[in-house]
Structure 1
Amino acid sequence: MQAVAFIEAPWREPAAVLTALAEEPWAIGLISDGDGPWSYVAARPDATLTLAADDPRDPFEALAALAGPPLPADPEGPPFQGGVAGLAGYELGDRVEHLGLPRLSGWPDLACARYLALLAFDHRRRRIVAIGRGSDSEEARTWAAEALGWLSLPPPRAIAPGADLEADPPHEYEAAVAEVVARIRSGEIFQANIARRWRGRLAAGARPADVLDGLAIASPAPFASYLRLPGLALVSNSPERFVEVRAQDGVLLAETRPIKGTAPRGADLAQDRANAEALLASAKDRAENLMIVDLMRNDLGRVCEVGSVAAPALFRLESFANVHHLVSKVTGRLAEGRTAVDLLHATFPPGSITGAPKVQAMKVIADLEPPRGPFFGAMFRLGFDGGFDSSVLIRTAAFAQDADGWSVEMRAGAGLVADSDPAAERRETEAKASALRTALESRASAATEG
């Protein structure tokens, strides 16, 4: 796939374009809130890869083989010019740590596809670039024209999601928090992220894509995503980058931006500012964040050049529709011969949603939560040029289709340390889940054409 072709088109909102393709198996959207300069929509891949728990293949070798050896990218084009994209489920980490984790029924460890046609949305210049890859320029142009044609597809009528969600009982979650705190105080672990679950069904005729479209309008996030698999769908409104790899001056640079530390938005400007300042000053939240920074420094150190791993930003405040977060940044240079797939293997699952030490925290999580499946895994893209980017699947809803429509499950977690208060941590999960829950429960359609 050495040739690449670009065709420009006028701007439309990426979530609105995705709705016309969303019911096709393997349709995918990687949707930025606009602060990230690019969003992507792809469909109709030429190859797919799905690995269930009992599949004996090495998932990382299979992923690298699907992408193929790195090819040069056009420096004038978007960062992602075709390649592999998809889902790494949380229990893919069991292929790394071999803990014997149970699986969430129906969800694979890895589900990804190779896309030769895609649409790239340039938020800064307000344009769309249809991209095609092929063995020669003619084939590449054909695939680009295929992607351009998606802009002419009529969008379906949006239906309000109308889900009736029921949360796991508050006392059960608070009891799990109390148990983790006791295990931290006993010295078993330093931190663990424990999640709470909500379940329900979409209204008749509603689709998972309607949820994404509503979120894109009401609560945009830098790493929102959508994936449609046969009989399954995933909608994420994630604010968190997992790991990124990009080429610069002949070397591959790695970056991760772990989130730890949360405070709700205030009802008015004064309260909002007070909540943000309290979060910035919170010793508990800063310590929680620093533990994960240290964990991610260690993970990156497995595949980066000695001495190159650094944390150039600590405890930065980032604000979203419903919460403030503390966000740090860890960077490094991949060692010679190492690839983005090696980095994924070294860092998965994300430290911010497991804990420290990671392996023991995963064991604690398995004791207290049902299998996670897609929750707290990663959505990723691996370009033909070897570039990589991924999000942590927080603020995420998973859908399963049956004869009566779509069932839905969502989860939200909290990072627990020795002085965590069970009731406060429960309220934190509710704040984190609020935007997604509002979108799922909406009785009035928020989907509009961009």
Structure 2
Amino acid sequence: MRGALRAVTTTPPADEGSAPAVPPSWVEVCILPLAWVEPLAVAARHGETPFAALLHSGAGRWCYFLQAPDAILELADDEREVGGLLAELLGSPATGRPDGPPFQGGVLGLAAYELSARWEPRLRGPRQAGWPDLTLARYPALLAFDRLNRQALAIGRGDSPDAARQRASQALDWAAGDLSPRGLPAPAKVGVEVTPRAQHRAAIREVVGSIHAGELFQANLARRWTGRLAPDDTPLNVFLELARTSPAPYAAYWRLRDRALVSNSPERFLSVHAEADGLWAETMPIKGTRPRSSDPAMDAALGRELLASVKDRAENLMIVDLMRNDLSRVCVPGTVAVPKLWALESFANVHHLVSTVRGRLAAGRTAWDAFLAAFPPGSVTGAPKLQAMSVIAAHEPPRGAYCGSLFWAGFDGALESSVLIRSIAFASGPEGWAFEARAGGGIVADSDPDAEVRETEDKIAAILSVLGETSGER
């Protein structure tokens, strides 16, 4: 791969002596069935390997474990354009097996929140240290877990049937041997610090003033929790415990070089898949939150309260309109629609209002075009998007992975991505793993600062529990 990249590493696949100078053909796919194994058990065994990843849906049918990428690209502080990067790694589109899972090999990527500064000069500013704007890794082999039928599959890609089978056999080996559960250390942390409640209230009041002055309609402000794991603890342990105690639709773990990402996200950013009349993009923004209750009657009442909230419905509608506008830039006119508005979805510790926006991509437009057109997600910025992002930058340090997106992009042109909320960014150093987590909410004209502070603590509660922290205030 070419270009002025600060860090590019290419690792050869197991069956080749050196990495290809250009993307090979991925036209052949091999799928080998194997006896059911728990995806968390595979992650527990292999997850400390750099660039090992588990996409572990807490509600969906499919989970995926990936390791041993054959090409890795990290885009840091240079000026390279991002538009063609995914195509460079994926090569020409290659169809998958109709009897296989949605993802049959391709690229796993992490787009940091600040990626959009590359095409929006108004947003240029500092980046979070250690987090590239974009990380892409190409995986020609993976394990897929069909939780509906309790079947596991080893999948390999290549330019010939033999090459595809060899890679599938390599993935098959990942599920061999002793995968019995291992004991985890008790949750532990040292030195946790959080943005004080008073500071967050003051920021909210300032943003509400800007809204009343007509500068914007909504901005998503977040608080930070930072700290360091105990010496014998790891991000993998945190992920395994979080997946066990608080399953989420877009839970994920990705071990990078000296960094790691743990996601407990409930939110889809963008999905692109083929239908009979072309590629369709769908986004599901979340806006509107209430805590869960252990009392069933109270829990149901909180859900009804959220559904009836004029403030929360208005907040959600603003982001729906923003996402409609974003998708309209790459979709056929007249196809962008809202099939679901203000649907109530309940997760381990909160209720949310979730809407659905979808549209058919225009001829010549790709999933990556749609992703870039809508990035960063409107639900974590505000409206108008650029003005909201400027306001956020005035109150928060660079976000890095937080409020960016984790995604897979298949060799067949499909894409699935999440919004990196309820996530923890880890960085390794001499004293162990440091972490940062954030939680925020959409600030609108009638936001109550005390209620907004409580909302951040409702959202972060599951993560703090796993990290050994029980209070939202320090």
TM over 0.5: yes
Assess if the C-alpha contact under 8 Å between 1:159 and 1:207 holds in 2: no
- Structure 1 position 228 matched with structure 2 position 255: yes
The equivalent of 1:446 in structure 2 is: none
- Structure 1 position 104 matched with structure 2 position 104: no
The equivalent of 2:458 in structure 1 is: 431
The equivalent of 2:168 in structure 1 is: 144
Question: Comparing 22-31 with 388-397, which one deviates more in the overlay?
Answer: 22-31
SS of 1:272 mapped into structure 2: helix
- Structure 1 position 88 matched with structure 2 position 92: no
Matched to 2:144, the amino acid is: A
- Structure 1 position 116 matched with structure 2 position 143: no
Instruction: Quote the Cα distance in structure 1 between the aligned partners of 2:469 and 2:397.
Output: 27
- Structure 1 position 198 matched with structure 2 position 221: no
Assess if the C-alpha contact under 8 Å between 2:118 and 2:124 holds in 1: no
Structure 1's 343 and 286: CA in aligned 2 closer, same or farther, altered over 3 A? Answer: same
Question: Comparing 154-163 with 298-307, which one deviates more in the overlay?
Answer: 154-163
Matched to 1:158, the amino acid is: L
Structure 1's 59 and 141: CA in aligned 2 closer, same or farther, altered over 3 A? Answer: same
Instruction: Quote the Cα distance in structure 2 between the aligned partners of 1:195 and 1:152.
Output: 43
- The Cα of 1:60 is off from its aligned counterpart by 2.6
Matched to 2:52, the amino acid is: A
| Aligned equivalent of 1:351, options 375, 378, 397 | 378
Instruction: Quote the Cα distance in structure 1 between the aligned partners of 2:116 and 2:227.
Output: 27
Identify unmatched segments of 5+ residues in structure 1: 444-450
The equivalent of 1:70 in structure 2 is: 93
- Structure 1 position 321 matched with structure 2 position 348: yes
The equivalent of 1:185 in structure 2 is: 212
| Aligned equivalent of 1:158, options 170, 179, 184 | 184
TM-score by structure 1 length? 0.96
The equivalent of 2:151 in structure 1 is: 127
- The CA RMSD over aligned residues, in Å, is 1.3
| Aligned equivalent of 1:249, options 267, 272, 276 | 276
Assess if the C-alpha contact under 8 Å between 1:15 and 1:212 holds in 2: no
TM-score by structure 2 length? 0.91
SS of 1:79 mapped into structure 2: coil
| Aligned equivalent of 1:397, options 424, 427, 435 | 424
Instruction: Quote the Cα distance in structure 2 between the aligned partners of 1:49 and 1:278.
Output: 46
Instruction: Quote the Cα distance in structure 2 between the aligned partners of 1:268 and 1:364.
Output: 39
- Structure 1 position 270 matched with structure 2 position 294: no
The equivalent of 1:295 in structure 2 is: 322
- The Cα of 1:250 is off from its aligned counterpart by 4.4
Question: Identity over the aligned pairs, expressed in percent?
Answer: 56
Cα deviation digits, residues 143-177 of structure 1 (max 9, x gap)? 11111111125566532341243211111111111
- Structure 1 position 15 matched with structure 2 position 33: no
- The Cα of 1:69 is off from its aligned counterpart by 2.1
Instruction: Quote the Cα distance in structure 2 between the aligned partners of 1:96 and 1:41.
Output: 33
The number of residue pairs the alignment matches comes to 441
- The Cα of 1:210 is off from its aligned counterpart by 0.8
The equivalent of 2:17 in structure 1 is: none
SS of 2:157 mapped into structure 1: strand
Assess if the C-alpha contact under 8 Å between 1:160 and 1:203 holds in 2: no
Matched to 1:357, the amino acid is: P
Instruction: Quote the Cα distance in structure 2 between the aligned partners of 1:169 and 1:324.
Output: 25
Cα deviation digits, residues 286-338 of structure 1 (max 9, x gap)? 00000000000000000000000000000000001110000000010000110
- The Cα of 1:387 is off from its aligned counterpart by 0.3
Matched to 1:31, the amino acid is: H
Instruction: Quote the Cα distance in structure 2 between the aligned partners of 1:88 and 1:154.
Output: 35
The equivalent of 1:79 in structure 2 is: 102
Assess if the C-alpha contact under 8 Å between 2:79 and 2:118 holds in 1: no
| Aligned equivalent of 2:338, options 311, 326, 331 | 311
Identify unmatched segments of 5+ residues in structure 2: 1-25
Question: Comparing 210-219 with 290-299, which one deviates more in the overlay?
Answer: 210-219
Cα deviation digits, residues 369-405 of structure 1 (max 9, x gap)? 0000000000000000000000000000011101221
Matched to 1:145, the amino acid is: S
Cα deviation digits, residues 101-121 of structure 1 (max 9, x gap)? 210011100011000010111
